[in-house]
Structure 1
Amino acid sequence: AEVAARAGVSTSTVDRVINGRGGVHQKTVALVERAVREIMGSDRTGYLAAVSRLDAILAGDGTEVTRGLAAAMVTAGEAAGARVEVAFVERMNPQALADRLLAVAADGSSGIAVQALDHTIVREALHEIARTDIPVVTVLTDMAGINRTAYVGLDNRAAGRTAGYLMGRFCRNSGKLAVVWGGELYRSHEERESGFRGILRSERPDLQCLEVITSNDDAVMAKARANEAIERHRDLVGVYCVGGGITGVAAAIEEAGLAEKLVMIGHNCNSETKPHLLSGTIDALVHQDIEAIALHAVECIIERRQPPGYSGIPVEIITKENVSR
């Protein structure tokens, strides 16, 4: 009754909001949530978090990274006493992502974690959600010009520079480098690619980065594009995989008999990449702790801020000598 009085709504409306039954206008949901926070006397609404629904919206690319993050988000939510619902949307489709964001907001979400696409349509959807006071956390990849609660993921420019440093140290000869990314809609890929090129310009100017190859994070497309690069550039000495599709690139290198000749650097050690790492096709992986990302994302949503002392997700380097067996 106290929550209803403070929010200026009926007790039945409060009941629907608290128990996630839907059918309540998002502005009314925001009023109820704000009333609960005020009564609890802090921004952390332990009572509300225990019964609210959080949403994770990720790229439906079927990669180990997104599948792993989805499972980790559900587990992190359970540990915090919140129910996390995961939705996968078509990869590299800004309209599908924007539509899903607005749909979960209208359906009573108490917080959203999103693998964002840096596109005007998505930005406008997030601006609209910000006006409803729903906390939004970007995961894995960020975007500029939005009023989000937090970003949880790697410093992707540092990750790209790390990959470039490794490539420069591993390549013994001069030559060309192929760079394969998912696409320009991922700010994380753009930052990694920029960091990679930047350090090589200063430390290994004899290594020439070719025009970036777009794979849409699809292993089949990545393999086809890698085959083209291998056929066209006989002086290729290395390949950097910025995002998904890495198994397709590894397969192309192996089938061409170039696993011992080409240096291959990629991202994320998991069940898909580990066999290629152990075989020597992949020389090193720049890794991010997916479980830590999930835990921090849920915490940021519940706290409605970046917790004090948070220093980001560390950039890790995995080789076949230190990979967990």
Structure 2
Amino acid sequence: MAAKSRPTAADVARRADVGVATVDRVLNGRAPVRKETADRVREAAEAIGYHALPLIRHRTNARNVRNVRLGFVLQKGTDPFYQNVATGLRKELLSRLDVKGKPDIVFVDDITAESLRKKILEVGSRTDAVAFVAIDHPLVVLAVDELNLRKKPVFTLLSGISASGVTGYIGLDSRKVGRTGAFIISKMAGAKGKIATLVGSHRYLGQDHSEMGFRSYFREIGEEARLLETIVNFDDPEVAREVTTSLLDRHADLAAIYNAGGGQDGIVQAIRAHSSGQRPVVVCNDLTDATRPALIDGVINCFLCLPIEAFARAVIDEMVSSIIGIRPAAPNRTLPFDVIFAENLPA
């Protein structure tokens, strides 16, 4: 006699007469789900012995709704990308059924190590858990150590740091991002011409790993000699504009630019304004409304993008889990990234 299979989310959905997506929202504490619908999902799970019933009961019990204080230290507040990240974090926390609270989001324009250390500790002093984007520096590590002494969960976002006290990292596999950028350029830029690489700072481990992945791909295919020395643009559009203009001036055979950090607006401005009319293949990170026209008209050829909605969901999920203890936080949660060309540009 065949063993009876374990009930699945699809079985719960059929029993409750809802979609599987609704079961997922109840299971993971995401709204909007009406209380009546959530109760029906719980009753269906109870009836068929669904293995995640304890978690569903926790999510649907109004008495378990807990106030949480989540703190975030993000980079430059004028950067559209970080504004999009902040919006995603606010929406995701608001959508949770099992907790309530307002995220404490601070933007840091002065990204020196001392400034970051102070902001991380300041936000940590008034929240239950902290997540931040920061350079890898001993002063930032000291901030993590101090928060550890206060029993505060600490998460790094998008770029890790070399600190043993970090609760978890949430972001992309930066080496894969860099290798993907290299693969795209190798197929689009042809076999001749120089290739430039830009980073905001080598102290961002995420950008450093992207650059290493980018270079490793060209080394493997025997074309490392095409790569120019990596240039630091401090994620600043004006510096990126100056750097790109200089590259176009000095290299008539410039075939491609890979930007592992920020400042894309400056790259676009330089290419559009340059008297040579050169159009190197350009691969950058993270599409925004400001850079969307550049993708449409071909100044930028491809964006390697953080899926902000999925990222925000993962961040809030890990931080909440670390506070209320439903499960241990994941030490390394990497997400698949989106590869966006003009031809598959989202509406």
Higher relative contact order (CA 8 A, sep 6+): 1
| TM-score normalised by length of structure 1 | 0.80
Q: Which amino acid aligns with 2:338?
A: E
Residue in 1 that maps onto 2:338: 316
Specify the SS of the correspondent of 1:83: coil
Aligned to 1:93: 112
Alignment of 1:145-184 (within 5 A): 145-184=163-202
Alignment counterpart, residue 101 of structure 2, candidates 82, 103, 116: 82
Q: Secondary structure at the match of 1:112?
A: strand
Q: Which residue of 1 is the match for residue 155 of structure 2?
A: 137
**2:75 is aligned with 1:59:** yes
TM superposition score normalised by structure 2? 0.76
Q: Deviations over 1:12-58 (max 9, x none)?
A: xxxxxxxxxxxxxxxxxxxxxxxxxxxxxxx99x9787322111110
Structure 1 residue 291: Cα displacement: 1.9
Closer/same/farther in 2, CA of residues 177 and 79 from structure 1, 3 Å limit: same
- The change in CA–CA distance for 1:124 and 1:64 in structure 2 (over 3 A counts) is same
Q: How does 1:155-304 map to 2 (within 5 A)?
A: 155-205=173-223, 208-256=226-274, 261-304=279-322
Identical pairs, percent: 26
Q: Deviations over 1:228-281 (max 9, x none)?
A: 111112221111111110111121112125666411111112212211100011
Q: 1:272 to 1:153 in 2, by over 3 A?
A: same
User: Which residue identity lines up with residue 249 of structure 1 in the other structure?
Assistant: I
Cα pair 2:236 2:262 within 8 Å, conserved: yes
What is the RMSD of the two structures over their aligned residues, measured on CA atoms?
A: 2.5
Counterpart CA distance in 1 for 2:271 and 2:338 is 24
Q: Is the 8 A contact 1:182 1:189 kept in 2?
A: yes
Contact 1:51 1:83 in 2 (8 A): no
> Structure 1 132/164 Cα, relative in aligned 2: closer, same or farther at 3 Å?
same
Secondary structure of 1:211's match?
coil
What is the distance in 1 between the residues matched to 2:115 and 2:319? Answer: 23
Q: SS state of the match for residue 314, structure 2? A: helix
In structure 2, the residue matched to 1:306 is 329
Q: State how far apart, in whole Å, the 2-side matches of 1:73 and 1:175 are.
A: 42
Q: Distance in 2 between matches of 1:259 and 1:314?
A: 35
Structure 1 residue 227 displacement after superposition: 0.7
Greater CA deviation, 292-301 or 257-266?
257-266
Instruction: Decide which of 102, 114, 121 is 2:121's aligned counterpart.
Output: 102
Which of 1 and 2 has greater Rg? 2
Alignment CA distance shift 1:267-1:239 (3 Å): same
Letter in 2 for 1:63: D
When residues 176 and 290 of structure 1 are mapped into structure 2, their CA distance, relative to the original with a 3 A threshold, is same
**Deviates most, 154-163 or 46-55:** 46-55
Unaligned runs of 5+ in 2: 1-57, 323-327
Question: Aligned pair count?
Answer: 282
Deviates more, 1:298-307 or 1:46-55: 46-55
Cα shift readout 1:125-166 (whole Å, capped 9, x = no counterpart): 101111221111111111123322211111001000000111
The reply to whether residue 119 of structure 1 matches residue 141 of structure 2 is no
CA shift for structure 1 position 92:
2.8
CA contact (8 A) 2:248 2:278 kept: no
SS at match of 2:95: helix
